[in-house]
Amino acid sequence: MRRADRLFQLVQLIRGRRLSTAGFLAQRLEVSMRTVYRDVADLQAQGVPIEGEAGVGYRMRAGFDLPPLMFTTEEAQALVASVRLAQPRLDEALAAQADSALGKILAVLPGAARAAAESLAVYAPPVGMDPAMRARLEPLRRAAEARRLLRLRYRDLKDAVSERRVRPLGCFFWSEVWTLAAWCESRQDFRNFRVDRILELDVLDQHFRDEPGRTLADLFRAVEADPRRQ
C-alpha cells in the first residue's frame, strides 16, 4: 500500500470510531504500532485535527470532514451485498434507512461501477423471519440506544414464563434468530433473551447509566473468559 493511501485510510479509521488505539489501527493497516505513531504525528503536523496520544488512543475533533468518497467496483459490490443480506433480517425502519443510504451511494458512482454493483448476483430472499420477531426489533434496538429500561414477559426454552426488568445492551443475529443481550436486574447477571420468545414488551420511562460490571463491554469480556455464557 502506498503511504498516501495508508494515510488516507488511517484518517478514515480514526474518524469512523469514537476512540481508536494504536494497536487497533496497526492491525487494520497491517503495519507496526511505531508506523502508526509516526503517521499520526505527520497528519497532526499537516493540520489534520487528530486528538489523543500514544498509549491512550486517537479520535477526530468534531466538525472535521472530507470530500465525498469514491468507491471501487468491488467496494460498491460489497456494499450492495451487505445491504441485500441485511435488509430481510433488520427491523423495517432500519431496513428502509439501509436502502436509502445505498441509493445515495449508488447515485454518485460512475456508470460502469454502478451497473456492476446493481447486477451483483448475490441475493437474500425474505424468508424465515417471523413477523412478530421483526416487529420487536425496532423497540428493542431503540431502547438499547436510548438506555431505557425494559420490562419483559418471557417464555424460556423450557416453556417457563417469567417477568424480567432488564437493561438492554444490544441485539444480536444468530443466522436464524435474534437475541437481546441485557443486564437482568431480576437475576443480577447478564442474560440473552430470544426475541421470538418475548411474549410482552414494555419500554419504561426510566433510563439507566453504564455501570462497571454491567456494560456490553463487560459482557464481551465475560464471554471471552467463558464462551458458555453466549
CA dihedral 28, 56, 216, 172 (to 10 degrees): -10
Instruction: Give residue 33's Cα distance to chain centre.
Output: 25
Which residues have CB under 8 Å from 199's CB, separation 6+? 153, 154, 155, 161
The predicted pLDDT at position 142 comes to 96
C-alpha cell read off for 208: 439507566
d(CA 153, CA 172): 19
The predicted pLDDT at position 224 comes to 87
The predicted pLDDT at position 66 comes to 55
For each successive 10 residues of the chain (230 residues), what is the average pLDDT? 82 85 92 92 88 83 64 86 91 91 83 87 82 91 96 95 97 91 95 95 96 93 78
The predicted pLDDT at position 205 comes to 96
The CA-atom distances, in angstroms, between 16 and each of 9, 170, 216 are 11, 20, 20
pTM for the model stands at 0.69
The predicted pLDDT at position 67 comes to 54
Instruction: Give residue 133's Cα distance to chain centre.
Output: 20
